[in-house]
Amino acid sequence: MSTKLEQAVHALKEQIDAPVASFLSSCVHCGMCAQACLFHTETGDPKYTPILKVEPLRRVWQQEYTFWGRMKKMFGLAKPITDEFLAEWEELVYDSCTMCGRCSMVCPVGNDITYMIRKTREGMAVSGHVPDGLVGATTRAVTIGSPMGVKFVALEAQIRHVEKDYGYKVPVDVEGADYLCMLSSMEIMNFPEYIGAIAKIFDHADVSWTLSSKAFEATNSGIQIGVSDIAAELVQRIVSEAERLKVKCVISPECGHAYTAIRWEGPNLAGKKFGFKVRHILEVLDELRQEGRLKTEGMKDNRLTYHDPCQIGRRGGVLEQPRNLINMVASDFVEMPDAGKMNWCCGAGGGVSTNERADEIRLKSFQRKKEQLEAVQAETLVSACSNCRIHIEDGLEAYHMDIPVISLTETLAEHLVDKE
């Protein structure tokens, strides 16, 4: 067995593909990505420039795949990749990057920097320079089945409460259902109302759906920590269940990276084309709206705004659907500056919220969200990601702001007309 450092270099070497080589060769060092990064704008510290975060990957590329880089390495002139170097970069790669994708949007030469940071994490993860919180979450995800250590018995208990409170049946392991609904641990433990809302809406619209007792967890710690092998294992659990239950579509819950994991990275990780569709819950709800299957009554009349979760909006393309749905139930919907595909990240995605060491910078970076909210004098904030929601609530408390943060799915459920 090789040392962890050798493993890291090897992992980075494996990650370098044609896009990475062309991105690294085309960087013109303009620094525009810095202006797009929350962690740079809110701290002013140039070390948070996104392209600098991929330095471990860049060094390996230069020393392994470029002529002059290899010459330099041969003569001992190249900057070495050492444990100290990787240790220094750990904070940059994990604590101060939410993989929100804003840097990739502004790069004038079209470099997908987020793609490279994701790849850099592959090397960092095996090097041992990775936050304890993420290691813990990933270990729990693999061994227990959920990063928060939630077992099916806990979900069963929540289902019983929900069925009692809402009066709707929550189907589990129903073979042949149209939709397999995934959840995040965050919803199970902190926002069980989401399960109630889904049950209510699907009952209202006569949707055939089910949960799975074997794969209910949609989140994927493998994606966040940056280990494709683990990410593939976690994705495979969902794929197996979807196939076993013969569903037509898997619904990703109100969670950002879960959507990226199953919809965009999923087939690549599983190594095959899925025999079912993957949709985000907002996409499903908007389809129901278009088909006229959602009847609502009453409008929220306070000033309401929507926070686009990065993985769902910018990275996932689900931008119109939430707005269509909000307009059904809100009369004073306002858009924050930069809303939509250039929305600012809440500051806690990409594993940052799992990493306690990053708490300080996470809350510091919240200033940007605070400014956005103040600009429109929002009275209520709607979002579609439990992670964003928890962190925004945390940030609002830290900055002494009193704005309720609500889930779009739950809000919609509240306004449904009762079935005759």
Partner 1 sequence: MKKHSTGARLSSSDDTLGAALRRQGVSRRSFLKFCAATASMMALPPTMVPAIAKALESAKRPSVIWLSFQECTGCTESLTRAHTATVESLIFDSISLDYHHTLQAAAGHGAEAAREEAMKENFGKYLLVVDGSIPVADPGYSTIAGISNLDMLMDTAKGAAAIIPVGTCAAYGGIPHADPNPTGAVSVADLIKDKPIINVPGCPPIPVVITGVLTHFLTFGTLPELDDLGRPRAFYGQSIHDRCYRRPFYDKGQFAETFDDEGAKKGWCLYKLGCKGPTSYNACATTKWNDGTSFPIEAGHPCLGCSEPEFWDGGGFYKALSIPTTEVARDALYAGAAAVAAGSALGMMNRARSKQAKSEHEKVSVDDLQKED
Of 264, 16, 5, the closest CA to residue 119 belongs to 16
Q: N- to C-terminal Cα distance for the chain?
A: 67
| Using rule CB under 8 A, residue 420 touches partner 1 | no
| Interface pick for partner 1 out of 49, 63, 120, 138 (rule CB under 8 A) | 138
- In which region does residue 113 sit, left (phi positive, over 0), alpha (psi from -120 to 50) or beta (all else)? alpha
| Interface pick for partner 1 out of 38, 225, 284, 330 (rule CB under 8 A) | 225
| Interface pick for partner 1 out of 41, 43, 139, 240 (rule CB under 8 A) | 139
Residue 372: HSE in the Cβ half-sphere, 13 Å Cα cutoff: 28
Q: Is the Cβ of residue 67 or residue 75 nearer to partner 1 in the bound state?
A: 67
Q: Provide, rounded to whole angstroms, the least separation between the CB of residue 128 and partner 1.
A: 5
Query: Residue count at the site for partner 1 (CB under 8 A)?
Result: 27
| Using rule CB under 8 A, residue 17 touches partner 1 | yes
In whole angstroms, give the CA distance from residue 86 to residue 331: 51
| Using rule CB under 8 A, residue 230 touches partner 1 | yes
| Using rule CB under 8 A, residue 65 touches partner 1 | yes
| Using rule CB under 8 A, residue 71 touches partner 1 | no
In whole angstroms, give the CA distance from residue 238 to residue 321: 25
| Using rule CB under 8 A, residue 90 touches partner 1 | no
| Using rule CB under 8 A, residue 87 touches partner 1 | no
Of 162, 163, 168, 197, the closest CA to residue 181 belongs to 197
Q: Is the Cβ of residue 90 or residue 178 nearer to partner 1 in the bound state?
A: 90
| Using rule CB under 8 A, residue 357 touches partner 1 | no
Q: Provide, rounded to whole angstroms, the least separation between the CB of residue 386 and partner 1.
A: 24
* Count of residues in the chain: 420
Residue 228: HSE in the Cβ half-sphere, 13 Å Cα cutoff: 16
Q: Is the Cβ of residue 230 or residue 281 nearer to partner 1 in the bound state?
A: 230
Collapsing DSSP to helix, strand or coil, 2 comes out as coil
Q: Is residue 169 within 8 Å of residue 199, measured between CB atoms?
A: yes
Can you give the C-alpha Rg of the chain in angstroms?
22
Q: Provide, rounded to whole angstroms, the least separation between the CB of residue 88 and partner 1.
A: 16
Site string for partner 1, 105-134 (x = CB under 8 A): --------------------xx-x-x----
Instruction: Write down the residue that tokens 């702001």 correspond to.
Output: 401
Measure the CA dihedral 371/377/378/379, to 10°: 130
| Interface pick for partner 1 out of 45, 84, 229, 243 (rule CB under 8 A) | 229
* Binding residues for partner 1 (CB under 8 A): 3-4, 7, 10-11, 13-14, 16-17, 21, 64-65, 67, 125-126, 128, 130, 135, 138-139, 142-143, 225, 227-230
